A and B are shown apart, each in its own frame.
Chain A
Amino acid sequence: GAVVSQHPSRVICKSGTSVKIECRSLDFQATTMFWYRQFPKKSLMLMATSNEGSKATYEQGVEKDKFLINHASLTLSTLTVTSAHPEDSSFYICSATRQLLATEAFFGQGTRLTVV
């Protein structure tokens, strides 16, 4: 199968600091990676789409300077939450597809971010 691994699974950071979340495709090359945010008991909200080697495409309302996304290789994408604040506390999930415009996405296990 296709495995996507997120790291860390949980992170606590102090308000004002930055935190980086990694998303790796372990056994396939991920042409496209997606980052979602999920509030408690809510659905997944797409934050951005990242194609390898290109700048990420952010959804409306998502601050690109706050949520920095890098997809520098075919197996790794990172989400950096800059100058984190308590309202950034959430569950962040990544997914990846094997090829452009693929119809099957593989999800990471998610990262619980708590900003104190």
Chain B
Amino acid sequence: AQTVTQSQPEMSVQEAETVTLSCTYDTSESDYYLFWYKQPPSRQMILVIRQEAYKQQNATENRFSVNFQKAAKSFSLKISDSQLGDAAMYFCASLIQGAQKLVFGQGTRLTINP
């Protein structure tokens, strides 16, 4: 079975500071993908960043980067220089290669304090 766990229901950070959101996953497969999605108040799901499990290098997208620890099955998201527009629910998700279904974590609500 494939599971994704986000242990932080809520996080807050001061504007311009850095915040890290945690995610752990469990799978017996070797080929899989990991994602972070953002869901702002509009409820539109937006892909923030993705990581292929076979790649050792951590993915980065501008202010967003991940710390992918494959042995520990950990996939945290770091947001640098936090902006008010980063306030949202963040979901970690996994997808097994060859499967169709995304498995989501419980979500972390991120608040940005001005």
Residues of A within 8 A of B (CB): 32, 34, 38, 41-44, 46, 49, 91, 93, 95, 97, 100-101, 103-105, 107, 109-110
Contacts and interface: CB of A to CB of B under 8 A. Distances in A.
B43 to A, nearest CB: 5
Given A93-B45, A107-B45, A110-B43, A44 B91 contact: yes
12 contacts: A38-B43, A43-B91, A43-B107, A44-B104, A46-B101, A93-B43, A95-B102, A104-B50, A105-B102, A109-B42, A109-B44, A110-B43
Interface of B: 33, 42-47, 50, 91, 95, 97-102, 104-107, 109
Return the 6 tightest CB-CB contacts between A and B, nearest first.
Answer: A107-B45, A110-B43, A43-B104, A109-B44, A44-B104, A103-B33
Given A105-B102, A109-B43, 19 more contacts: A32-B100, A34-B100, A34-B102, A38-B43, A41-B109, A42-B106, A43-B105, A46-B102, A49-B100, A91-B43, A93-B45, A95-B45, A95-B102, A101-B98, A103-B33, A104-B47, A107-B45, A109-B42, A110-B44
